Each structure stands twice: as structure tokens, then as C-alpha cells.
């Protein structure tokens, strides 16, 4: 059973950086694609980035392209989201999710398991 545990969120100043981690404590990382999504207050959950199981294919939302980097270490059953040049518009609860497929997706309904979320706050 997949059990995703996120860490690394917090408060950062504008133009700062954060690195989020998403680990599968259930030990069934498997051949899953991983996605990161975020949700700000009173807004819908939106796609941020996704990575295929092999790590060779990545996708980014336009608003984070060039600033965020998604990666994974399958030996550690962990995925990461490196966030640089953060601005106040990036403040949200960030969620990792896995899709029981090797292929990525930008649609949250296609993901099968979710982490608990990490709140990131960016001060101006």
C-alpha cells in the first residue's frame, strides 16, 4: 500500500528556495509516475510538475517552468521538488501524488494516492 509522506515545506522570503520531499513509507514505490500539485486558499488544486517512473520525462506548469525542478531517487522511494526564485504567488499547500502508471499526467483525477500536503508560505 502506498503511503506518501511529505516534508520540507515552510516559510521563505521572496526569491528564496525550498525543497520538498515525498517518500513512500509503505515501501511499494513501484513503477509509478509522480506528480506535484498545489492549492492556494479558495482556489482549485493545480498541476505543478510531474515525472515518469524512469525519470526521463518531466513536465512543468508554465508558471513554474525554469524555477522548479522535479526529480526522483527510486532507490530511496522518494521524489523531490526543488523550488527556486519563489514569489508570493507560489504560496500554497503542496501535495505529491502517485499514478499507478509509468506515464505522467497533468490531471489530478488520474492520480491514485496522495500525500498529506505541505504548506509553503512566501513572504514579500
* Confidence label for 124 from pLDDT (cuts 50, 70 and 90): confident
* Mean per-residue pLDDT, 57-62: 97
Higher per-residue confidence, 101 vs 81: 81
Exposure letters 80-98 (e unless 16+ CB within 10 A, then b) = bbebeebeeebbbbbbbbb
* Mean per-residue pLDDT, 71-82: 95
User: Contact 22/79 with Cβ under 8 angstroms?
Assistant: yes
* Mean per-residue pLDDT, 81-97: 96
Angle (nearest 5°) at CA 93 between 9 and 57: 80
Residue 102 has pLDDT above 90, yes or no: no
Give which of 7, 33, 24 is closest to 78, Cα–Cα.
24
Q: Write down the residue that cell numbers 500536503 correspond to.
A: 117
CA distance 30 to 99: 10
* Confidence label for 123 from pLDDT (cuts 50, 70 and 90): confident
User: Contact 93/48 with Cβ under 8 angstroms?
Assistant: no
Phi, psi (degrees; rounded to nearest 5) at 3: -130, 105
* Percent of the residues in the chain that have a pLDDT greater than 70, as a whole number: 98
Mean pLDDT of the chain: 93
Residue 62 has pLDDT above 90, yes or no: yes
Q: What CA–CA distances, in Å, run from 76 to 23, 80, 87, 101, 122?
A: 8, 11, 30, 19, 29
CA distance 22 to 116: 10
pLDDT the model gives residue 2:
87
Amino acid at each position: 500500500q502506498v503511503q506518501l509522506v511529505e516534508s520540507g515545506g515552510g516559510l521563505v522570503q521572496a526569491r528564496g528556495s525550498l525543497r520538498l520531499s515525498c517518500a513512500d513509507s509503505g515501501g511499494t514505490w513501484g513503477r509509478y509516475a509522480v506528480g506535484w500539485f498545489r492549492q492556494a486558499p479558495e482556489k482549485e488544486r493545480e498541476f505543478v510538475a510531474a515525472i515518469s517512473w524512469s525519470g526521463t520525462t518531466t513536465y512543468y506548469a508554465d508558471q513554474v517552468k525554469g524555477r522548479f525542478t522535479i526529480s526522483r531517487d527510486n532507490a530511496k522511494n522518494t521524489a523531490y521538488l526543488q523550488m527556486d526564485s519563489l514569489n508570493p504567488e507560489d504560496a500554497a499547500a503542496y501535495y505529491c501524488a502517485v499514478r499507478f502508471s509509468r506515464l505522467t499526467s497533468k490531471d489530478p483525477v488520474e492520480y491514485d494516492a496522495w500525500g498529506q500536503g505541505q504548506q509553503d508560505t512566501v513572504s514579500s
